[in-house]
Amino acid sequence: MKTIIVTGGYLPLDFLKEQIKKRQVELIICADSGADALYNAGILPDVLLGDFDSVDEEVFNSFVQQGIKTVRFSAEKDLTDTHIAIKYAIKQGSKKIIILGATGLRIDHTLANIYMLEKFIRHAHLKIVDTKNSIELVSDGSSRIYHKKDYKYISLIPISRKVYGVTTEGLKYKLQDATLLRNSSFGISNEILSEQGAITIKKGLLAIVQSND
Amino acid sequence: MKTIIVTGGYLPLDFLKEQIKKRQVELIICADSGADALYNAGILPDVLLGDFDSVDEEVFNSFVQQGIKTVRFSAEKDLTDTHIAIKYAIKQGSKKIIILGATGLRIDHTLANIYMLEKFIRHAHLKIVDTKNSIELVSDGSSRIYHKKDYKYISLIPISRKVYGVTTEGLKYKLQDATLLRNSSFGISNEILSEQGAITIKKGLLAIVQSND
C-alpha cells in the first residue's frame, strides 16, 4: 500500500495539492499539526492522528464532522507525531510512504525527521519530499534505481561515518566500489545522465537526496 | 581571532547586516557565490576566495577595485568553497568561525555543510548560523555553555549512531549520563531555563541546534 503522511513543517498549498494528485496513494494520514495545511488545501485525510494539542479546533471539528477517522495518542515526549504516523502507516500495511511537511526552517526538526527514517528502513520504502528535495536513506546491501524526471541533482551523503562499496551506474561522476566519508562533501551534486541511474552500497547508511536549485 | 565566512546559501540582507554588526569579527571571508549577498548589503569582505566561476563579474570587479584581497583556487570537485574557506580561516589563526549562508532549501548542501564541521572540530569553534538556527557540533569529552539570549529551543541531535554520557545543567528536560540514539527524536526541543545551560558529553558526536519557531 502507498501512503502519504502530512506533517506540520513547511508545506505550500500548491505543492501539497500537486503531490496528493500526482502520487495517487491509497492512504492519507494527517499527523497532528499537518491538519491545517490539508484543510486549507481542501483535502480530506483518511486518518487524523496525534495528541491534537496543536490542531486548530475548527479544523479538527470540521474533519470529525466529515467522518474522518481520528486516532488519539497521548503526548509522549520522546515520540514525535511524525514517528507515530509512520508506525501507524506500517501497521496498516504501507510499503511506500511519502512524508510531506517534514522539512522547514527548523534545522533540528529536519535533521530528526531524516534520521527517523533509519528506524523504519527494513519495514517500508520511506521518502521525505519537499518543494526542492526528495530524500531517502539506503543501507547495507541496497541497490536502487533513481529517475531523473523532476530533479537536476542527486547527492550521496553518508549518515554513518563511512559508507563502503558505493557503485553508481548512469551518473555523471562515476563511483566504483568507493568508500564515502561523512565529513567530506565528495558525493554532492552528482547528476543522472539519461532517464535513470542506479546506486548500490555494500555497507553503511547513506542519504540519497534528489534536488533542484 | 573571530571570523565570519559568508557562503552562497539562503541569506536575507537584513540578517547578514545584523550578524556582521553584532558579531564584531576581525576577519570576513567571502566564499565565492557569497559575494553577491555581501555586495548587495554594501559590506566589504577582507578576502574573496574561490574559483570565481559563479561570482557575478560586476561584483567581482567592484571588490577588486576596492582593494579586496582575492585568493583563487582551482575548482576541485571534492572540496566545496565553504570547505576551502574554513581551511583558509584556520590557517590565518581563526579560533571562532561563524558561517552564514550555509543552509537553505537544498537539503544536500545543508547536510554536507553541517557534517563538514566535524572535519575541523579540533581546530576551531565553528558555528553555522541562519535566521532561525545556530548549529554546532561537539564531540568526545566536550563541556559547553549555551546562552538562552536569542533562542527559544535547544536540541541535542546525535550525528554518531550513539552519544554516551550526556549530562545537562539548567535545561527543562534533564539528562544525567544519558545515551542518545541518532534514530530517536528524544533530544528535540529542550529549553534553557534561565540565562544559560550546560551540556557535557563523554563520547560521540552531537549536533547542538539552538532555534526559534
Let me know: does A107 contact B209? Beta carbons within 8 Å. yes
Put residue A171 in one of left, alpha, beta given phi > 0 → left and psi -120 to 50 → alpha: beta
Of B79, B106, B115, the CB nearest to A132: B106
Q: What fold, for A138-211?
A: Jelly Rolls (2.60.120)
Q: What fold, for B137-211?
A: Rossmann fold (3.40.50)
Q: Which value, to the nearest 10 degrees, does the dihedral of the CA atoms of residues A138, A144, A149, A152 take?
A: 50
pLDDT, tens digit (0-9, with 9 covering 90-100), for B117-161: 999 999 999 999 999 999 999 999 999 999 999 999 999 999 999
Query: Taking the domains of chain A in order of start, what are their residue ranges?
Result: 2-131, 138-211
Task: Note the pLDDT of residue A76.
Answer: 60
Residue B77 has pLDDT above 80, yes or no: no
CA-to-CA dists, residue B175 to B157, B160, B172, B200, angstroms:
13, 18, 9, 10
Portion 107-146 of A in contact with B at CB < 8 A: 107-116, 118-119, 130-133, 135
Question: Angle A107-116/A81-91 helices, nearest 10 degrees?
Answer: 20
Contacts of A185 in chain B (CB under 8 A): 78-80, 83, 112-113, 115-116
Q: What is the mean pLDDT of each run of 10 residues along chain A (213 residues)?
A: 95 96 96 91 94 86 94 76 93 98 95 95 97 97 94 97 97 96 89 96 98 95
B95 in contact with chain A, both atoms CB, cutoff 8 A: no
Mutate to test the interface with B, among A115, A127, A185 (most CBs of B within 10 A): A185
CA distance B105 to B16: 18
What residue in B sits closest to A213 (Cα-Cα)? B106
Strand-pairing partners, residue B197, are B146
Of A114, A119, A185, the CB nearest to B112: A185
A161 in contact with chain B, both atoms CB, cutoff 8 A: yes
Question: What letter does residue B34 receive in the DSSP assignment?
Answer: G
**Does this complex have an ipTM over 0.85?**
yes
CA-to-CA dists, residue B46 to B42, B49, B188, angstroms:
13, 10, 37
Q: Which three cell numbers stand for residue B183?
A: 534514530
B23 in contact with chain A, both atoms CB, cutoff 8 A: no
The verdict on a CB contact (< 8 Å) between B80 and A119 is no
Residue B78 has pLDDT above 70, yes or no: no
A195 in contact with chain B, both atoms CB, cutoff 8 A: no
Q: What fold, for A2-131?
A: Rossmann fold (3.40.50)
Task: Note the pLDDT of residue B51.
Answer: 84
